[in-house]
C-alpha cells in the first residue's frame, strides 16, 4: 500500500440538472425534462453505500425547484455549498448581477439547511483572471472557501499558473481559502484529474495514478461529479460538438468507477478537509 493512505480528499457534487450546465439560458430551462431527482437519489445511495459524506455545491435555481432534495442532502449528513443561481459564466456577468444571484442562492440555501453556507464553486469553474473580482463578493457574503480555480488551460476556464494546492487567498477582509480543482503534473503540464468528463473519458487507472501521486506528495485532492452523470439515460439533445463530446461521453462508466474511487481513497466534505468549523 502507498503512504498516501492517510490523506483525506474532498468529495464534491455540483448539484444541478442535466440541462443546466449546457450554456442554455435559464429562461429556456422549463422546456427540458426534469431529471434531478433520479441522479440525486443515485448519488445519495452510492455515498451512503460507501459510508462517505460530501459537499454538494447546489445551484440556486435547482434548490428552488427541489427544496426537498436539499433537505435530504442535509439529513444524510452532507455539507451544502453554493453553485450560484443561473449557471452563467461569471466573466460574462455584470458584477452586480453576479452578486445579487449569489446572495439569493445563499439566502435560499441557508433557509433550507438552517446552517451558514461557507463554500462556493463557480459554474464552469469560471473564476479566471477576468473575474477575480468575484472573490471580493464571496468574502462580503460570508463565504469562507472557494473551489473554482482550475490551474489548466481550457477554452472556457482555467488560470494555468494558479497554485495547485489549498491556500489562503490574498486580499482585504475576512480570510478566504481556495481549494483549486486538482491537477496532476505530468511532463511539466497540469493534467486535469478531478472528475466530471475527464473521469469518464480517461481510463480509471489514470485518475487513480493521479490521485495517488497527489496524496503521496501529502496533498488532498478534490473530486467532482454532477448528479446527471449517474443518470446515463437522460435525454440526448443536439449540442455544439465540443459540449456534446464531454457531456455524453461514457456516462455508463460513472457509477462503477465512482464506487471504485470511493474504495481506493478517503474522502470527506470540503470544509472538513480545509479545517473550517
Ligand atoms: Zn455546474
Contacts of range 20-27, beta carbons closer than 8 Å, 24 or more positions apart: 20/59, 20/61, 20/62, 20/87, 21/87, 21/123, 21/124, 21/226, 22/239, 22/243, 22/247, 23/89, 23/243, 25/86, 26/61, 26/86, 26/87, 26/88
Spatial CB neighbours of 112, under 8 Å, sequence gap ≥ 6:
63, 67, 70, 71, 74, 80
C-alpha cell at 38: 433520479
- 36 C-alpha vs ligand 1 centroid, how far in Å? 13
- 123 C-alpha vs ligand 1 centroid, how far in Å? 4
Residue 156 bridge partners (DSSP): none
- 149 C-alpha vs ligand 1 centroid, how far in Å? 13
Which ranges constitute the DSSP H helices of 84-201?
95-113, 134-140, 196-201
- pLDDT in the model for residue 277: 77
- 14 C-alpha vs ligand 1 centroid, how far in Å? 5
- 203 C-alpha vs ligand 1 centroid, how far in Å? 23
- 2 C-alpha vs ligand 1 centroid, how far in Å? 33
Q: Is the pTM here over 0.85, yes or no? A: yes
Per-residue pLDDT of the chain in tens (277 residues, 90 and over written 9): 444 568 999 999 999 999 999 999 999 999 999 999 999 999 999 999 999 999 999 999 999 999 999 999 999 999 999 999 999 999 999 999 999 999 999 999 999 999 999 999 999 999 999 999 999 999 999 999 999 999 998 888 999 999 999 999 998 889 999 999 999 999 999 999 999 999 999 999 999 999 999 999 999 999 999 999 999 999 999 999 989 999 999 999 999 999 999 999 999 999 999 999 7
| End-to-end Cα separation, the chain, in angstroms | 31
- 206 C-alpha vs ligand 1 centroid, how far in Å? 24
- 126 C-alpha vs ligand 1 centroid, how far in Å? 10
Residue 186 bridge partners (DSSP): 189
CA distances from 128 to 58, 124, 152, 153, 156 (A): 21, 10, 10, 10, 9
- 22 C-alpha vs ligand 1 centroid, how far in Å? 9
Cell 460513472 sits on residue? 254
Measure the CA–CA gap between 159 and 248, rounded to whole angstroms. 26
Q: Give yes or no for a contact between 85 and 60, defined as CB atoms under 8 angstroms apart.
A: yes
Number of Cβ within 10 Å of residue 161's Cβ equals: 10
- 1 C-alpha vs ligand 1 centroid, how far in Å? 35
Residue 20's Cα: distance from chain center in Å?
14
User: CA nearest 13: which of 203, 164, 196?
Assistant: 196
- pLDDT in the model for residue 55: 98
Measure the CA–CA gap between 155 and 125, rounded to whole angstroms. 11
Map residue 12 onto helix, strand or coil.
strand
C-alpha cell at 200: 469518464
**Which of the 8 DSSP states describes residue 92?**
G
Cell 459564466 sits on residue? 89
Amino acid at each position: 500500500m502507498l503512504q498516501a493512505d492517510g490523506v483525506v480528499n474532498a468529495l464534491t457534487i455540483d448539484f444541478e440538472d442535466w440541462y443546466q450546465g449546457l450554456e442554455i439560458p435559464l429562461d429556456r430551462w422549463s422546456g427540458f425534462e426534469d431529471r434531478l431527482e433520479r441522479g440525486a437519489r443515485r448519488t445519495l445511495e452510492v455515498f451512503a453505500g460507501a459510508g462517505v459524506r460530501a459537499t454538494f455545491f447546489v445551484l440556486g435555481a435547482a434548490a428552488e425547484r427541489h427544496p426537498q432534495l436539499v433537505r435530504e442532502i442535509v439529513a444524510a449528513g452532507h455539507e451544502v455549498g453554493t453553485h450560484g443561481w443561473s449557471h452563467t459564466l461569471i466573466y460574462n456577468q455584470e458584477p452586480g448581477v453576479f452578486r445579487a444571484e449569489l446572495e439569493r442562492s445563499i439566502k435560499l440555501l441557508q433557509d433550507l439547511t438552517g446552517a451558514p453556507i461557507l463554500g462556493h464553486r463557480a459554474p464552469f469553474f469560471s473564476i479566471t483572471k477576468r473575474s477575480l473580482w468575484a472573490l471580493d463578493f464571496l468574502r462580503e457574503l460570508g463565504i469562507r472557501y472557494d473551489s473554482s480555480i482550475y490551474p489548466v488551460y481550457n477554452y472556457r476556464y482555467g488560470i494555468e499558473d494558479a497554485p495547485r494546492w489549498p491556500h489562503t487567498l490574498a486580499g482585504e477582509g475576512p480570510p478566504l481559502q481556495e481549494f483549486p480543482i486538482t491537477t496532476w503534473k505530468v511532463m511539466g503540464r497540469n493534467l486535469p484529474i478531478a472528475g466530471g468528463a475527464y473521469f469518464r473519458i480517461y481510463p480509471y487507472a489514470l485518475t487513480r495514478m493521479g490521485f495517488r501521486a497527489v496524496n503521496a506528495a501529502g496533498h488532498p485532492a478534490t473530486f467532482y461529479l454532477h448528479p446527471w452523470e449517474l443518470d446515463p439515460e437522460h435525454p440526448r439533445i443536439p449540442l455544439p460538438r465540443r459540449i456534446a463530446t464531454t457531456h455524453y461521453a461514457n456516462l455508463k462508466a460513472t457509477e462503477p468507477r465512482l464506487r471504485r474511487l470511493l474504495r481506493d481513497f478517503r474522502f470527506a466534505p470540503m470544509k472538513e478537509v480545509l479545517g473550517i468549523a
